[in-house]
Amino acid sequence: MLDTAWLLRVEGSRRTLTGPYALAFNLTAAGFAVFYLYTAGFGLVSTQSHRGFYIMLTSVLVFLLYPARKGAPDNRPSIVDLLLIAATVISIGYWIDQYVSYAMFRVSSPNQADLIMGGVAILLMLETSRRVLGPVIPLIAIVFLLQLYFGSYLPGKLSHPGMSVERILEFTYSSQAALFGVVTSTFATFVFPFMIFGAFLERSGAGGFFMSLGTAVAGRWRGGPAKVAVMTSALFGSISGSSVANVVTTGSFTIPLMKRTGFRPHDAGAIEAIASTGGQFMPPVMGAGVFILATLTETSYLTIALVNVIPACVFFLFLLSMVDLEAVRLGLKGLPAEDIPTVRRVLAEGWHFILPLVVVLGLLFAGYSPNLCAFWGTVAAAVLSWRHNATRMGPTAVAQALIAGAQSNTSAGAAIGSLGVIIGGIFLAGLGLKFSAVIIDFAQAELFVALCLVTLVSIIIGMGSSTTGSYIILSVVAAPALIQLGVPTIAAHLAVFYAACLSNITPPVCVSAFAAAAIAGAPPMRTGFAALKYGATLVLMPFSFAYVPELLLQGTWLEIVYTTGLYAAGCVLLAVAIQGTLPFGRRHARLPQRLLFGLGGAAFMFPATIWIDLAGLAATLLALALLRFAPTLAERAEPPLDAGQ
């Protein structure tokens, strides 16, 4: 007989459901996942059903699992929650049922029921986002709704005549341009199937395999646990697509291990936070963002993944260099030999976990759609799990993986309704080009100043919201400004996307760093500043995409190889400048030498001319020559510089 006791309990971040409500959640989540896994593999569903059921079921799961306030019941939904669930089913179900009739007979003349259901649906989507992500995204959505009505009061180029309430409700709800627009379609078509794929990989034992592989490869190096954290977070984060989910999943193992081997708590949390953030742009999967990016730039998913290979690699090279130099400064060693498995043994036991990724990549290269690739990758993960009895996925494990995929979607999908409202407000008022014009005017058409403004806006918008949500907003209001200043479309969107990732580790609100600090038992703000130090190249990436196109495979192969080599060397020099230690000789670089290393790194990372390359080389050689006068770490009297001081 099947063990069904687990069906009567659901562990959530805010509420733990028990009894019949847990059963209702699990059955809804499993059906939700099965439906979209089916559409990923076989299609055959109407557009309105495909988009409508995604928003409906996401909100239903959110209202079941997330309480409205602190005093709400923590083991069951309240009466208000049940009423909201009923209102969600009715309002979204009405749209699914009536969309064809509206599109054929009522465009520009919605009836009273359309308007009432539209108002109810918009309020429900705002509440869905608020419960999971906090007030930031819903407040932004409300601002964009209000500017549609009060458009005549907006200053300068942002001004417009204003819209009636009826027009706002119709465009936002009844059409497929806002609430049920491209963002909802992309998540339902591409993102959710890959979340299910990630859940199946994890349930099949792939998470443990990647952890063991990282330990086998990097465990014996100095600071080995931190390097294991970097490698496993890059691998797992590429699949999960959520930096916070990655922190709590891999960080529960890597952060305590780093602390036991000598890393300070805030450094251990910071390393996990920035490594997990990097997983969002690590090919091949790159989480949710790549699908939105591919859709908005009208570029194939495979192309986006390929052009991200070099940026992701140099980012993790810098992070590994920072970790290595921190280990040198603290005098840390690798893990004990008895705790390190051999690469051969790990691969012999778990090589089959790599095959689902091979299936996905192979189908992508063969030209199949990403959602179909996710479907067959999921099937491959389930089938290959039967290689070992311990990881074999029977009916119970399959059901648990389906539910886990749907539950993970509640954190990512909760923002979609509010984001649709925001996008609708931008498009209806024509704010995208207007906002871009404001940025260009303020920057006086200087690309560098515009990039600084876009990065600053990205950090502000990203406070407390998801990377994907921040990117979607910025792709409409900020990316066009960079494109108008001559940045290629893909480069402009990648610049905005990486800037959105930056908000995960940028104080005062840095959700990934705060999650890691909670596990590490470290001060949150100190962990946030340390994460910003370890992720310094993430600040430079938006500028790199604009000024160093070779990183995105633009140019001849000789130019790409030469520039990438210089950029990688620059990343290492920048790490030396920040940490003040050398990977050899245990020498401590004083301020003049650190400045020279920093100048050399900057020249290599932004090689505009051969003379800048030579200047960077000269600065590096001079810094190395001056090291003969530098003290060793053992002789150093002053305390080390600290990111939290």
Could you read off the pLDDT of 156-214 as tens digits, one per residue?
A: 888 889 899 999 999 999 998 889 988 888 889 888 888 898 889 888 888 778 778 87
Give the domain range for residue 637.
555-645
Domain-embedded: residue 507: no
User: 619-638 pLDDT, tens per residue?
Assistant: 989 988 887 766 665 555 44
Residues 251 and 319 in one domain: yes
pLDDT score for 134: 83
- Residue in the block written with tokens 């920072």: 322
Residue at which a domain ends, from 386, 417, 448: 417
Q: How confident is the model at residue 567 (pLDDT cuts 50, 70, 90)?
A: very high
Contacts of 122 (CB under 8 A, 6+ apart): 145, 169, 172, 173, 179, 417, 421
pLDDT score for 342: 85
Q: Looking at the predicted structure, is the pLDDT value of residue 240 above 60?
A: no
User: 47-90 pLDDT, tens per residue?
Assistant: 999 999 999 999 999 999 999 988 888 889 999 999 999 999 99
pLDDT score for 25: 94
How far separated are the first and last CA of the chain, in Å rounded? 59
Domain-embedded: residue 275: yes
Q: What is the DSSP letter of 581?
A: B
18 φ, ψ (degrees, to nearest 5): -135, 160
User: 294-347 pLDDT, tens per residue?
Assistant: 888 888 878 888 888 899 899 999 999 998 888 888 877 777 777 788 888 888
Q: Looking at the predicted structure, is the pLDDT value of residue 285 above 50?
A: yes
The model carries a pTM of 0.80
Domain-embedded: residue 210: yes
Which helix (H) or strand (E) is 143 found in, with range?
helix 136-149
pLDDT score for 645: 38
How many C-beta neighbours within 10 Å does residue 556 have? 9
Residues 163 and 300 in one domain: no
Q: What is the DSSP letter of 628?
A: G
Residues 139 and 191 in one domain: no
Residues 148 and 196 in one domain: no
Could you tell me if 473 and 419 are in contact, meaning their C-beta atoms sit under 8 angstroms apart? yes
Residues 131 and 190 in one domain: no
pLDDT score for 641: 41
Q: In the chain, how many domains are there?
A: 3
Residues 195 and 141 in one domain: no
pLDDT score for 421: 92
Amino acid identity, position 396: T
Domain-embedded: residue 5: no
Could you tell me if 607 and 613 are in contact, meaning their C-beta atoms sit under 8 angstroms apart? yes
Give the per-residue SS3 of 90-157. HHHHHHHHHHHHHHHHHCCCCCHHHHHHHHHHHHHHHHHHHHHHCCHHHHHHHHHHHHHHCHHHCCHH
How does the average pLDDT of the chain come out, rounded? Answer: 85
Residues 154 and 244 in one domain: no
Residue at which a domain ends, from 362, 394, 417: 417
Cα separation, 167 vs 428, in Å, equals: 10
Residues in the chain: 645
Q: How confident is the model at residue 361 (pLDDT cuts 50, 70, 90)?
A: confident
- When pLDDT is averaged across residues 608-621 and rounded to a whole number, the result is 88
Residues 208 and 347 in one domain: yes
Among 135-139, 217-221, 358-362, 496-500, name the one with the lowest average pLDDT: 217-221
Residue at which a domain ends, from 357, 392, 417: 417
Domain-embedded: residue 601: yes
Residues 156 and 285 in one domain: no
Residues 210 and 317 in one domain: yes
Structure tokens, 404 = 């886990």
Residues 189 and 101 in one domain: no
Domain-embedded: residue 149: yes
Domain-embedded: residue 528: no
How many Cα neighbours within 13 Å face the side chain of 137? 35
Residues 291 and 379 in one domain: yes
Domain-embedded: residue 45: yes
